[in-house]
Amino acid sequence: MSYCEVCTRESNECDQLVGLSCGHQFCLSCWQEYIKTQMNEQFLLRIECMESGCSLYCLEDFVLQILKGHSKLIEKFKKHAFLAEVKSHPNLKICPGKDCTTIIMADREKAKKVTCNACGTSFCVRCGGDYHAPTSCETIRKWLIKCVDDSETANYISAHTKDCPNCHSCIEKNGGCNHMQCAKCKHHFCWMCFGDWKTHRSEYYECSRYKENPAVAQEANHIKARRALEKYLHYFERYENHHKSLMLEEELRQSILKKVEEKVNDHEGTWIDWQHLHRAATLLTKCRYTLQYTYPYAYYMESGSKKELFEYQQAQLEKEIEELSWKVERAERTERGDLESQMHVAEVTRRTLLEEFFK
């Protein structure tokens, strides 16, 4: 007589025994509990046979048959099966907007940025993240990891500390004196050249042995670490600053939109009379967004004529954006022609940079 290999009950004591083409038989109750666990804990669409070592997967029809009568689980399984199919399709993307479930079709080879018609979220069709032109998907991934990774903390430590030449413990200099004593091994040494302090004698605050000491190479590594940190902070601080400016300018855009609507409602003109203010604020956020992502791009560029050209265009874009920002903040006191002229210059500058470096 056959029996379930999980609960060990015989076929006449339990539900119907069912199994896959591999021949491993289990009762219906054990199958249901197993599939429920797989779905609730980590939601595996590719559910393997319960037999240890068996790599055969349950087909969708088999899973649905096992879950018959459990409508919520069936609905959940079908939903995740559908989303998995969407994610595996090269030209389909699920909108990353909050609470949005819209499916968007776009050719990944041609499209770079898509905007969801349902919620208005714009994103990169290639990686599914925030749109990041002119920075590539791979570069922005590295940059975002770098921004949150402890590696920059390590750089800071490396830039502001040195290792004891005797026991190699990490030491931070918190005073002006170059005479250091390691707290761990009590070794006395010179902060400047790592030499034994006893050899300095009367050369109290002057390190004449600095160039002769082989520890110069270690000092060079600290200098390199400081320079690497300075470079990172240069780009990161500007990236963050433009992000904060973007958030404030988005609030300004919303404020201008509200003012325009109030003026129209108060019969102080029509939408056509005031729409240039809102268009200017919208363009400002668009340009600022692009400028923000030029900094990760520049950080990873190699030195040379191409980088020099990029940084020149980046500086021009920043100049025109700040000019536009100044006028948008004073939009009601700025001549319409002057504002629209600045809008044109800023947008042309933005497009020129993207066309040159984001192909």
Please name the residues in contact with 234: beta carbons below 8 A apart, sequence gap of 6 or more.
none
pLDDT confidence of residue 109: 62
56 and 164 co-located in one domain:
no
Domain co-membership, 106 together with 179: no
41-90 pLDDT, tens digit per residue, is 655 667 889 998 898 989 889 999 999 888 988 888 888 888 878 878 87
Token pair recorded at residue 159: 């830039």
Task: Write out the two tokens for 296.
Answer: 């990760």
- Pair (178, 213) in one structural domain: yes
112 and 222 part of one domain: no
Asked if 228 and 344 sit in the same domain, the reply is yes
Query: Which tens digits make up the pLDDT trace of 149-204?
Result: 755 665 666 566 777 888 877 787 665 566 788 888 888 887 766 778 777 655 44
Are residues 257 and 184 part of one domain?
A: yes
- Residue 81 in any domain: the answer is yes
Q: How far apart are CA 207 and CA 195, in angstroms?
A: 9
Is residue 351 situated within a structural domain? yes
What CATH number corresponds to the domain at position 342? 1.20.120.1750
Same domain, 180 and 314: yes
Give the model confidence (pLDDT) of 223-281 as tens digits. 777 778 888 888 988 999 999 999 999 999 999 999 999 988 988 888 888 999 999 99
Asked if the structure places residue 3 within a domain, the reply is no
Together in a domain, 48 and 103: no
Concatenated DSSP letters of 262-302: HHHHTTSS-HHHHHHHHHHHHHHHHHHHHHHTHHHHHHTPP
Mean pLDDT, rounded, of the chain: 83
| Domain shared by 201 and 150, yes or no | yes
Q: Do 184 and 159 share a structural domain?
A: yes
Among candidate residues 124, 148, 177, the one where a domain is terminated:
124
Q: Domain range spanning residue 275?
A: 137-358
Q: Are residues 266 and 332 in the same domain?
A: yes
Residue 347 in any domain: the answer is yes
Distance CA(33)–CA(320), nearest Å, equals 63
Residue ending a domain, choose from 87, 116, 147: 87
Q: How many domains does the chain have?
A: 3
**What token pair was written down for 80?**
């995740």
Segment 107-130 shows an average pLDDT of 82
Q: Label residues 102-124 b or e (16+ Cβ within 10 Å = b).
A: eebeeeeeeebebebeeeebebb
Query: Is 335 found in the same domain as 201?
Result: yes
Structural domain includes residue 131: no
For residue 129, tell me if it sits in a domain: no
Domain boundary among 74, 101, 124: 124
Give the residue numbers marked as catalytic: 177
Contact (Cβ atoms closer than 8 angstroms) between residue 153 and residue 164: no
- How far apart are the C-alpha atoms of 188 and 181, rounded to whole Å? 4
